[in-house]
Amino acid sequence: MNRDKITRLLQDRVFTLSVTIAILFIVCSIIWPATFPTFDNISLVLLNLSIESIVAVGMMLLLISGMFDLSVGSVVAFAGSIAAYLMYWYGMYVSVAILVGLGLAGLIGLINGFFVAKVGINPLIQTLAMMGIVRGLALMVAGAGIQNLPEAFNAIGQSKLLGLQTPVWFMIIVVAIFSLLVSRTVFFRQYYYIGGNEKAARLSGIRVERVKIIGFVLISLLAGLAGILLASRLGAALATSGRGMELRVITAVILGGASLLGGQGKIIGALLGTIFMGLVSNIMILARVSGYWQEIVLGLILILAVAVDVLAQRRAGTTPREYVKRASEVTPPKVEA
């Protein structure tokens, strides 16, 4: 293998993260042979990261186009709460209640997308405001939480297939579908063009607003799906679900290769990012590292991820000063075609 090829591989976050995860796996298997590499432990790690991975897929898509959504955690709580509310208080069919939950989640995404893409509101402001509104709605709907949900609903998140709990399979399906869509379809390639250079994308005939709106709808739908799976897994809908999820998901996605500047990232990177964070969390529990360290570790991982991104960009010719400047311009200025 020549030097250029090695350099390219080392710059590929999917490759480096996969290697890091593999090394972590081997080291932990040696340190805790009886507890870490067991099927029970690994399936639990996958189960615990499955909900966030589904949301991370949507966040990766948005970050590829240079946007992000801070309302995802609230949408997770809201979608689960509304479905549970309809089933519990109105005896609605499980399937219909789930569809309503997903539909309303999609509507939230549509509103976010409309205000960001059409009206031109900064995604930070728009989704931050939506985060508060949707959390309030979830609180109104679920109150102190809704328990005793129908068995048919609980079975969705609590059943197992080949030893793995259903949310893990949902995660695998979502990652597989979006990986294929993003790598094989022309429509999803447009997110890279928009993230890479919105002006050029617009001039080349891409309907930027429409693509952006669809991006927000998709992430909200995925957050809705995650919320329904979470409520089903817990057997309860909690208005407090998903608090702080947006930060964890963005961390995982940046770790998985997305750039704050947009135009970069692969869907599989989102999964690898959440797997890495899930493993770190598992290791801290096995090593009995106090929970005090979790925030610190999460912060350090985020800094590490962004530092790697800055270094990669520097190789591509972007200075750290330019990087910070461009990263803070979350909404590129509108350019008339």
Single out the residue of 290, 317, 321, 333 in contact with other proteins (rule: CB under 8 A). 290
Range 214-233, binding other proteins (CB under 8 A):
230
Single out the residue of 14, 182, 225, 236 in contact with other proteins (rule: CB under 8 A). 236
Q: How many residues bind other proteins (CB under 8 A)?
A: 37
By CB under 8 A, residue 126 contacts other proteins: no
By CB under 8 A, residue 112 contacts other proteins: no
Least distance between other proteins and beta carbon 147 (Å): 5
Least distance between other proteins and beta carbon 274 (Å): 13
By CB under 8 A, residue 164 contacts other proteins: no
Single out the residue of 197, 294, 318, 331 in contact with other proteins (rule: CB under 8 A). 294
Q: Which amino acid belongs to residue 72?
A: V
Q: Return the number of the residue (45 or 271) whose C-beta is nearest other proteins.
A: 45
By CB under 8 A, residue 117 contacts other proteins: no
End-to-end CA distance of the chain: 45
By CB under 8 A, residue 108 contacts other proteins: no
Residue 105, Ramachandran bin (φ over 0: left; ψ between -120 and 50: alpha; else beta): alpha
User: CA 104, 215, 55 angle in degrees (round to 5)?
Assistant: 70
261 with 5: CB under 8 angstroms? no
Residue 94: both structure tokens together = 């499980």
By CB under 8 A, residue 142 contacts other proteins: yes
By CB under 8 A, residue 163 contacts other proteins: no
The closest alpha carbon to 138, from 12, 258, 245, 287, belongs to 245
The Cα 74–Cα 78 span in angstroms is 6
Residue 204 burial (CB count, 10 A): 11
Give the residue ranges of DSSP H helices in 32-185: 39-64, 72-90, 94-113, 123-142, 151-158, 166-184
| Phi then psi dihedrals of residue 212, to 5 deg | -65, -45
Least distance between other proteins and beta carbon 275 (Å): 14
Single out the residue of 164, 286, 306, 330 in contact with other proteins (rule: CB under 8 A). 286
Residues that bind other proteins (CB under 8 A): 35, 38, 40-41, 44-45, 48, 51, 138-139, 142-145, 147, 158, 230, 234-236, 238-244, 281-282, 285-286, 288, 290-292, 294-295
